[in-house]
Amino acid sequence: MSEKKPAAKNQSQKQPQQKKDHPLKLFEGKRVVVQEIGPNTIEGDCIVAEPGYLILMNVRIKGTKHVAEAQLLYIPNHRISFVHTAPTKVEEIKEAEPQ
């Protein structure tokens, strides 16, 4: 009878995979602006940025009629349209004069 030899595993080809951080991790420790799905714009200090959520401190929430301030805010990922760091420069757009 013939014996079947188990296939040899090549250990040199397998390298431990390095865990890559989620892109949201770049925002931790920075002042960010979050455009929520809907009319709300949120500004705050990002203390936790995980793939499923953001946690902000010293928050300012701007809606269509009111501006609210809070100490702590949890935003689930499905409510976020986009996130960016707080602006460093803001310029007013000057409209061209009609001729």
Low-confidence ranges of the chain (pLDDT < 70): 1-19, 99
Q: Give all strands of the β-sheet with 67-76 in edge-to-edge order.
A: 67-76, 53-62, 41-50, 31-36, 80-85
Domains present along the chain, CATH in parentheses: 32-85 (2.30.30.100)
Render pLDDT for 33-59 as a digit per residue (tens, 0 to 9).
Answer: 999 998 999 999 999 999 899 999 999
Q: Is 42 exposed, middle or buried (0-12, 13-18, 19+ CB in 10 A)?
A: buried
